[in-house]
Structure 1
Amino acid sequence: MDDHWQAQARIGTAVSGQTLAHWARVNPRSLEETGAAWLGWVLALIRSERRRSRDQAAAFYRLYRAMETGHTLPPLSGEHVGEATTLGELREEWADQAGTVRAPEPDDGQTIVLEGFDWPEEPTEAHDRAAVASLTSQGPARVREAAREAQEAPVEARGRLDGSGFLQELDEAAQSAGRTAAMAADREALRAGRDLIDRASAQDRRVVGWARVTDGDPCAFCAMLASRGAIYASRATAAGGGRRKPVGSSDGRRRANRRPRVALEDLTRYHNGCHCQTVPVYSRTDFMTPQARDFDRQWQEVTRGLTGAEARRAWRRHIESSR
């Protein structure tokens, strides 16, 4: 699973860097023209990288499902490949999509049965609308708002609008907007891969739950989500935070510092710059990765004796201090 979020992160980080580099062509004093040109260029880049994210996510899904269940899904391309494949072939596909080199594994020859499945189509127009809205609000709109506030300020407080002080502040606002827009582009580039896993797993009859896997530097909320392991046995119980009581635990002991309830919509929500992923779970035994167990231990220690908002504040301070 770490290989998956890291491969997706490489896509997002590359898009972020290119977006920020191209932002240098945006002139705050001719924002309509240069901002529109920047938006068109970045949107074309994001469309291309969304396809990469989606193809990569499908390769991960096929390999991960095979290793968890001994069964997998047909290729995303729809190409007919027979009734079965092997773990080795699925690993080759993943390595090709992720751009990595893999070493041979002893079980490469294991037969994996292909099950019938119709992959969901990407809602391209909806994804384009989301990208335009996000990029515009985080980039040009921020510059426009900074200019408007400066123009509406009292003259004695701001000086001449063509003065060096005003122009410097406008350039600083543009630089800040470029950074936030680059982070938004990162998220939009990964939208298709995340959406594919979310929608495919909703149709996958073998999926029994979902879990959050964080990147290497999660925010407090993402770390809290990961600490819960597999909490959703079905979408119907998601809003109730349906994690089973851990074996050997005491309801009374855990009630004081229980984690906040979260809905599946929270589990699949990502902030700008976030490289976390949500993965399907195929076993009804308690799903706790080493990372999840570590976050679970930290939560119990940091929030001991605290409840509600106090527990959340303590957790946020703990995570932020360690980032």
Structure 2
Amino acid sequence: MNPRSLAESGSAWLGYMLALVRGERRRSRAQAAAFLRLYRAMETGYTLPPPAGDSGGRTTTLGELREDWARQADTIRTPEPDDGDMIRIDGDFDWPEEPVDAFDRAAVASLVSQGPAKVRERVAQAAQEQARGRLDDAGFMQELESATTNAGVTAAGAADREAIRSGRDLIDRAVQEDRRALGWARVTDGNPCSFCAMLAARGAVYKSRATAAAGGRRKPRGSADGRNPRNRRPPVTLQDMTRYHYMCHCQVIPVYTWAERFTPDAAHWSDEWERVISNNGLSGLEARQEWRRHIDAQRREQSN
């Protein structure tokens, strides 16, 4: 973007970025579908039909599903001993349509607010701060360069989130329609912030309120409430679980068994919460602050 002609250059930039985001959304959606089909097969022995239409049969193999995932994710696949295992395809499932127009509107709003709008705001501020207000003033020119550089960083974060919006949405809504799925669990990327690690630590969200109230477990005979001590913390809501900040690469995955209240990822963060927060009797604001310090320290150590 040219800060001296924001209207023209900003419009051209937005058109280019929107086309780029649309292409990446399609790729994100295809990857999410391939992941979900493979993950479901490994968890349940059943998979979903290909999103493109007729599968050409009622069965597939784990090897074929792995091939599809490797192709969509552009990764190298090595043969597995169970590649030949037959997987039944559940035919009574319709993939949700992508709300293209709504996603385009969200992308435009996000890109504009984090790109041209930030440049315009910073340039106006810099112009007021410069006593002479000359466009060739050295200080003013430095402000223009700084404004576009900073806006590039924030706009990149917006583009990143919008590019993977479709894949996240596909899994979220597919789980709602999947009769075998019980709910959702949040998994983090390799270096989550404290907010994302906290959400993952809270465990799964279930479709049924009764299931959620029981901590995701059927009430065994002779048990007062069937709960594991780990489940006593209030569960996170689906609305919270599907909140993603800029440059966040967390995802939600389906939960297919009653024993999946805590995925391995969630169990790790839950254990960390117990050790750092619960065992020290912290709560409220004090707990959140200490958790943030703990996670930030881990991220600094990992970056070194």
Question: Normalising to structure 2: TM-score of the pair?
Answer: 0.88
Q: Equivalent residue for 2:264? A: 290
Contact preservation (8 Å) 1:159, 1:166: no
Name the structure 2 match of 1:220: 194
Tell me which moved more, 128-137 or 74-83: 74-83
Give the deviation of 1:269 after TM superposition: 1.4
Deviates more, 1:162-171 or 1:67-76: 162-171
Give SS of 1:273's match: coil
Counterpart of 1:234 (choices 207, 210, 214) is: 207
Return the alpha-carbon distance in structure 2 between the equivalents of residues 237 and 273 of structure 1: 34
Which segment is superposed worse, 296-305 or 58-67? 296-305
Change (3 A) 1:172 1:200: same
Partner of 1:160: 133
Q: Which amino acid aligns with 1:50?
A: R
Matched, 1:312 2:285: no
Whether contact under 8 Å (1:150, 1:166) holds in the other structure is yes
Question: Given the alignment, which residue of 121, 124, 129 partners 2:97?
Answer: 121
Alignment correspondent of 1:83: 58
3-state SS, counterpart of residue 28 of structure 1: coil
Matched, 1:28 2:3: yes
d(CA) in 2 for partners of 1:77, 1:166: 54
CA contact (8 A) 1:228 1:243 kept: no
For residues 190-226 of structure 1, give each alpha carbon's deviation from its aligned partner in whole angstroms, at most 9, with x where no partner exists. Answer: 0111111011111001111211110011011110111
2:58 is the alignment partner of 1:70: no
Q: 1:50 to 1:248 in 2, by over 3 A?
A: closer
- The residue type paired with residue 130 of structure 1 is A
CA distance in 2, matches of 1:132, 1:218: 26
In structure 2, list runs of 5 or more residues that go unmatched: 218-224, 300-304
Q: Deviations over 1:281-303 (max 9, x none)?
A: 00011443333222112111221
**Which position in structure 2 is the counterpart of 1:20?**
none
Q: CA deviation at 1:30?
A: 1.2
Aligned residue number for residue 14 of structure 1:
none
- Kindly tell me: are residues 250 and 135 of structure 1, through their superposed partners in 2, closer, same or farther at Cα, counting changes over 3 Å? closer
Equivalent of 1:95 in 67, 70, 73: 70
- Pick from 148, 152, 165 the counterpart of residue 191 of structure 1: 165
3-state secondary structure, aligned to 1:112: strand
Q: Report the CA distance shift for 1:307/1:79 in structure 2 as closer, same or farther (over 3 A).
A: same
Q: Work out whether residues 214 and 227 of structure 2, in 8 Å CA contact, stay in contact via their aligned partners in 1.
A: no
Q: How far is the alpha carbon of 1:278 from its aligned partner?
A: 0.4
Q: In the TM superposition, what is the alpha-carbon distance from 1:238 to its structure 2 partner?
A: 9.7
Q: Aligned partners of 2:33, 2:187: CA distance in 1, in Å?
A: 17
Counterpart of 1:45 in structure 2 is: 20
TM-score, length basis structure 1: 0.83
Choose the corresponding residue for 1:273, options 218, 236, 247: 247
Q: Distance in 1 between matches of 2:3 and 2:124?
A: 12
1:249 maps to 229
Deviation at 1:308, TM superposition (A): 1.1
Higher relative contact order (CA 8 A, sep 6+): 1
Partners of 1:96 and 1:176 lie apart in 2 by 35
Counterpart CA distance in 2 for 1:250 and 1:107 is 34
Query: Is the partner of 1:270 in helix, strand or coil?
Result: coil
Q: What is the CA–CA distance in structure 1 between the aligned matches of 2:31 and 2:230, rounded to whole Å? A: 42
